[in-house]
Structure 1
Amino acid sequence: MRRARRVVVTGIGVVAPGGIGTRNYWDLLTAGRTATRTISLFDAGPFRSRVAAECDFDPVAAGLSRRQIRAWDRTTQFAVVAAREALADSGLDGAVTPERTGVMVGTACGMTISLDREYAIVSDEGSGWLVDDRHGAPYLYDYFVPSSMAKEIAWETDAQGPVGIVSTGCTSGIDVLIHASDLIADGAADVMVAGASDAAISPITVACFDAIKATTPRNDDPATASRPFDRTRNGFALAEGAALLVLEEYEHARRRGAHIYAEIAGHASRSNAYSMTGLRPDGVELADAITSALDMARLDPAALDYVNAHGSATKQNDLHETAAYKRSLGPHAYRVPVSSIKSMIGHSLGAVCALEVVACALAIEHSVIPPTANLTEPDPELDLDYVPVTAREQRTNAVLSVSSGFGGFQSAMVLTRP
């Protein structure tokens, strides 16, 4: 059932591979450029997968003070910079009602880089079983508790309403927007600054994905390493990034004359209760999430103009996802354009879903569908319209974004033209 209080997007902020800021991000997506490259944040020589989509992020140029740079993990730096852009874009910057404003941040891995670095220091590069806490940074507790990221944004925003963290693995970025949207719909807040951030390109993360062979070993050609829906796909490209959005109750936004990018019309989440990393080939749980999100939005599947896919470029996901579209959308699955922007910006774990929701809002705003880069060899088992290589101009009134995460999490969100 459609909610009495409607929720709209009135501000967007982005830190992404290949594009800091929303405009640069959208230019990269619509141009079909890829941001994957050989890892430069550390020496990845010993690893199976040595490619990633890194952010060319200069914290000083982004407006952070030396004190903030020292105190904050890269994940928090991304989140704060994205939140600042979103607030400025919304026109609410400095003009919020504190007790009616909240902050929700999603993350899959939290402060990975700082924890990795600090452990190496207090253990003397891993040589000591008993660590020496005297050498730890004074901000070590903040690195250990991801809620510190939400706290920093709340302080910057003067948000005194609901504040918290959502961590559901690779669906964190969409699940946090669902939660924030529900808080507005239920009357707990009028404005929520919500989104996700992950900066986990570190030895421990790369080693974990190497162990299960989830990431691509296509190290000789990083620019084309991420190949969703392509016959030659062999794993995702790790990435980092952040996207924060200003979500607002519709009448609240209308009264102040805010620019509205899109309305969050429907959403749903499911679990397959099946496997930590495995997916059922029939896609039934994801299909159910899609159907429930469409029902909430009161939309027929045929009303969808675009599907922003999870599209991780793993063999099992792309088959599972394609099956879910056919099950939930019926004949329209063969007509609606589907694309994966992970082909260009990689898979930034919990953050990427928020970046994908941003892409959906911008697709509605500009009536342009981003392409699936590197899709040059169609897989005969994947027979939908995956918008290969080149962006497509097309009016988009209703867009579906989906996400699938380790642990069996499946989430879907429907955005519509306001």
Structure 2
Amino acid sequence: MARRSVITGIGVVAPGGDGVKEFWDLLTSGRTATRRITAFDADAFRSQVAAEVDFDPAAHGLSHREIRRMDRVTQFAVTCTREALADSGLDLSAVDPGRLGVSVGSAVGAATSLEREYLVLSDTGRDWVVDHRYASPHLFNHLTPTTIATEVAWEAGAEGPVGLVSTGCTSGIDSVGHAHKLISEGSADIVLTGASEAAVSPLAAACFDAIKATTPRNDDPEHAARPFDRTRNGFVLAEGAAMLVVEDYEHARRRGARIYAEIGGYATRCNAYHMTGLKVDGREMAAAITAAMDEARLPADAIDYVNAHGSGTKQNDRHETGAFKRALGDHAYRTPVSSIKSMIGHSLGAIGSIEIAACALAIEHGVVPPTANLHEKDPECDLDYVPLVARDHRVDAALTVGSGFGGFQSAMVLRKWRGGDA
């Protein structure tokens, strides 16, 4: 019989909310953390807005050596891991390290450090042949995204399965899905899982400018992210991270752990269609949703809240709306749906884990975060998107979904823990 996986600890670094409490306060207040880019001079870019994290690694207890060794993306992951472990109450000295695993997601890894190092080695792009004598001793660590998972494993002394998942914008949900499977199959008793991204950089901004995926609404940064709104015109680039402690239920029960939620089901599909294009009917996302609900043994009408991918691009929001209708039927019209990207932007590979954290907190507190900036209803997006204001709402089962370039479509069902065999 498959073992059950539960969430017992949460750590978050997000725009406008450093730590779980601040993150949740931001979401439930409906405030936005989007602003003009400060990380670099963005005046020449089409999109000049982002959701940045005001992050001081030293204030989070990282040593000078750790700060120099780790890219910002890894600093986020380690900081979140520390918060999640403290929140879980785990005594790592009593944990068999061979039964402790790590599953971390990231779409672009240490791209920020790689870009910075290239500018140094090429003398700001002047030299075609780079000069290795100026290379940082940590350059190789920046090249390999698995360094993020390695540092998390070192932080906790994890000697079980350790790996990194990189599936674009679904990395954060897929990494937690992988952790769920490791618990279910018995490969680990505890998995530190989540995702991290620090991609507010000139290179990333240029990539999304080239395909016109990000919003050009530079004159109103606070209201630039508008999922499901008729006037939406692209997503807001962001950074951030979330890490979770996911445990086998029996292991959590024996130590008397607090349980935020159970991971009831997870599934992923690919549309094998187009690198960035999406079909309006949302067939592949709907298939992932149905498979996740089937694993959780929940019918469509048991879903109390849907945390949408809700990127704010024209095609994504239509695609998701179609997928929800296809998978949930008439119940889709009675279910609150919201996108927290309206407040904290789209942190690429990290956002899926941040959204899972938001779902666990929605279950814990009985509150559904709103979709900020939703003032003008799009006739093609005709579900209940919880506009502007958070809503008190009992959430026994939450569905969260992700959609990524390359055709990736993933879904996860979290449910309220009731104990026993329920």
Q: Give the TM-score, by structure 1 length.
A: 0.99
Q: Aligned partner of 2:66: which letter?
A: Q
- For residues 3-27 of structure 1, the C-alpha deviation after alignment (integer angstroms, 9 at most, x for no partner) is 6200000000000000110010000
| Cα distance in structure 2, aligned partners of 1:284 and 1:206 | 30
Structure 1 match to 2:105: 106
Alignment partner of 1:346 is 2:345: yes
3-state SS of paired residue (2:92): coil
Structure 1 match to 2:203: 204
Q: Aligned partner of 1:336: which letter?
A: T
Equivalent residue in structure 2 for 1:49, among 25, 47, 50: 47
| Cα distance in structure 2, aligned partners of 1:265 and 1:319 | 27
| Cα distance in structure 2, aligned partners of 1:405 and 1:107 | 12
Structure 2 match to 1:152: 151
Q: Alpha-carbon deviation of 1:319? A: 0.3
Q: Aligned partner of 1:204: which letter?
A: L
Structure 2 match to 1:71: 69
Structure 2: give runs of 5+ residues left out of the alignment.
418-422
Q: Alpha-carbon deviation of 1:104? A: 1.0
| Cα distance in structure 2, aligned partners of 1:364 and 1:380 | 30
Q: Aligned partner of 2:301: which letter?
A: A
Structure 1 match to 2:420: none
| Cα distance in structure 2, aligned partners of 1:6 and 1:147 | 27
| Cα distance in structure 2, aligned partners of 1:287 and 1:210 | 29
Q: Alpha-carbon deviation of 1:200? A: 0.6
Structure 2 match to 1:36: 34
Q: Alpha-carbon deviation of 1:97? A: 1.7
3-state SS of paired residue (2:44): coil
Alignment partner of 1:19 is 2:17: yes
| Cα distance in structure 1, aligned partners of 2:105 and 2:2 | 26
Q: Alpha-carbon deviation of 1:92? A: 0.9
Alignment partner of 1:367 is 2:366: yes
Q: Alpha-carbon deviation of 1:230? A: 0.2
Structure 1 match to 2:182: 183
Please identify runs of 4+ aligned residues in structure 1 that moved more than 2 A.
Answer: 93-96
| Cα distance in structure 1, aligned partners of 2:354 and 2:34 | 16
| Cα distance in structure 2, aligned partners of 1:97 and 1:341 | 37
| Cα distance in structure 2, aligned partners of 1:113 and 1:269 | 29
Q: Aligned partner of 1:292: which letter?
A: A
Structure 1 match to 2:60: 62
Structure 1 match to 2:96: 97
Structure 1 match to 2:173: 174
Q: Alpha-carbon deviation of 1:94? A: 2.9
Alignment partner of 1:138 is 2:137: yes
| Cα distance in structure 1, aligned partners of 2:148 and 2:61 | 17
Please show how residues 239-254 of structure 1 align to structure 2 within 5 Å.
239-254=238-253
Alignment partner of 1:297 is 2:267: no
Structure 1 match to 2:278: 279
Structure 2 match to 1:385: 384
- For residues 250-278 of structure 1, the C-alpha deviation after alignment (integer angstroms, 9 at most, x for no partner) is 01001100000000001110000000000
Alignment partner of 1:84 is 2:47: no
Structure 1 match to 2:262: 263
Please show how residues 398-409 of structure 1 align to structure 2 within 5 Å.
398-409=397-408
Q: Alpha-carbon deviation of 1:138? A: 0.5
Structural RMSD (CA): 0.6
3-state SS of paired residue (1:324): helix
- For residues 31-53 of structure 1, the C-alpha deviation after alignment (integer angstroms, 9 at most, x for no partner) is 00100000000001100000000
Equivalent residue in structure 2 for 1:9, among 7, 20, 39: 7
| Cα distance in structure 2, aligned partners of 1:370 and 1:8 | 22
- For residues 389-412 of structure 1, the C-alpha deviation after alignment (integer angstroms, 9 at most, x for no partner) is 000001100000000000000000
Structure 1: give runs of 5+ residues left out of the alignment.
none
| Cα distance in structure 1, aligned partners of 2:92 and 2:16 | 29
Q: Aligned partner of 2:178: which letter?
A: H
Q: Alpha-carbon deviation of 1:93? A: 4.5
- For residues 246-303 of structure 1, the C-alpha deviation after alignment (integer angstroms, 9 at most, x for no partner) is 0000010011000000000011100000000000111000001001111111101000
| Cα distance in structure 2, aligned partners of 1:266 and 1:180 | 12
Structure 2 match to 1:331: 330
| Cα distance in structure 2, aligned partners of 1:4 and 1:243 | 26
| Cα distance in structure 2, aligned partners of 1:94 and 1:411 | 32
| Cα distance in structure 2, aligned partners of 1:278 and 1:163 | 33
| Cα distance in structure 2, aligned partners of 1:60 and 1:69 | 8
Q: Alpha-carbon deviation of 1:381? A: 1.2
| Cα distance in structure 2, aligned partners of 1:149 and 1:327 | 37
Question: Do the aligned partners of residues 352 and 56 (structure 1) sit closer, same or farther apart at CA in structure 2, a change above 3 Å counting?
Answer: same
Between Structure 1 and Structure 2, how many residues are aligned? 416
Q: Alpha-carbon deviation of 1:112? A: 1.0
| Cα distance in structure 2, aligned partners of 1:343 and 1:369 | 14
| Cα distance in structure 1, aligned partners of 2:138 and 2:371 | 40
| Cα distance in structure 2, aligned partners of 1:22 and 1:97 | 27
| Cα distance in structure 2, aligned partners of 1:146 and 1:247 | 22
| Cα distance in structure 2, aligned partners of 1:105 and 1:177 | 8
| Cα distance in structure 2, aligned partners of 1:68 and 1:306 | 40
